Structure 1
Amino acid sequence: MLIAKRTSVLRSRYTVTDNGRQVAAWEGAVWRSGGDLTVAGGSFQVRSNMWGNTFSMLDKAGGVVAAADRVGRKQWTVTAGGLTYEFRRASMWSQAQDLYAGGTKVGSVHKLSFWGNDVAVDLPGVPLPVQVFVLGVIVSMWQAQSAAAASSGGG
């Protein structure tokens, strides 16, 4: 299981560790969804459309390594390496996202505590760069949802 610890209060920066050893880093973009990630010495850009419901993970040459579609919906997918990973929101009251294979829950991404921003990424069988991409997509989705809730709460 990967643990993503937020390293900045003002920015969406996470250090990703596996058994206490840093394996990746995520830095969210400031004014849009997406960001940059570093995994196993490789650098990737994560970009979204203007609605934040599709994301692409691009290598240095601009080639698509992974893509997420229907982000923010109850069910959404990530495609990478010829495989499609199906995610579902764990429940109406939770921000957790579960990974399904053949109708069976096989993994999840969830906050470690209600008040904190640290995230547990448990996606067995999913390549490490794709796991970090999923983390970035989910963190971006959570931030967009939080911003939408904050902007609609005033009166």
Structure 2
Amino acid sequence: MLTARPTSSWRNRYEVALDGRPLTTWEASFWKQGGAFTLDGHRYEVRSNAWGTKSTMVDEAGTEIAAADRVGRKRWTVRYAGQTYEFRRHSMWSQRQDLYLGGNAVGHARRVSVWRREVELDLPVVPVPAQVFVLGVVIALWDAETAAVAAS
């Protein structure tokens, strides 16, 4: 299980752990949706379009490694290493995102608490780099939703 805990109340930076062991740090971008992380000595950047509905993960050379489409919709997908993973919003009242394979829910991404920004991903069939990508995508999604509510 992948967990992410904010390092500060003022900065959008998360310490990411895999099964309780430190894995990487997710550093959200200040000016736009997305961010960056380093995994196994390789730096990856996550970029989103202006509406936040499409995100990509690129390596140091700018090569696309993963992509997420229709982010924020009821159903959205992630492509990584030739595989497509389908996510669905758990309900219209929840930020939880469920991973589906063959019509069955097999994992999830969720905030641990309504009051705290900690995140938990239980995506057993998804490779670790793609899990960190999904983490960045859902954090950006939830941050945008929170900002929209605060602005209204």
When normalised by structure 1's length, the TM-score is: 0.95
> 1:137 and 2:133 equivalent?
no
Stretches of structure 2 that go unaligned for 5 or more consecutive residues are: none
Which residue pairs with 1:15 in the alignment? Answer: 15
Which residue pairs with 2:38 in the alignment? Answer: 38
SS at match of 2:125: coil
Distance 1:97 1:91 in 2: 9
Distance 1:82 1:20 in 2: 29
Distance 2:43 2:51 in 1: 24
Deviations 1:93-115 (A, max 9, x none): 11000000011000000111110
Count, aligned residues? 152
> What one-letter code is carried by the residue in structure 1 that aligns with 2:62?
G
> What one-letter code is carried by the residue in structure 1 that aligns with 2:84?
T
Distance 1:146 1:111 in 2: 13
Which residue pairs with 2:124 in the alignment? Answer: 124
The runs of at least 4 aligned residues of structure 1 exceeding 2 Å deviation read none
> 1:78 and 2:78 equivalent?
yes
Stretches of structure 1 that go unaligned for 5 or more consecutive residues are: none
Distance 2:75 2:48 in 1: 18
> Shift of the alpha carbon at 1:19?
2.7
SS at match of 2:132: helix
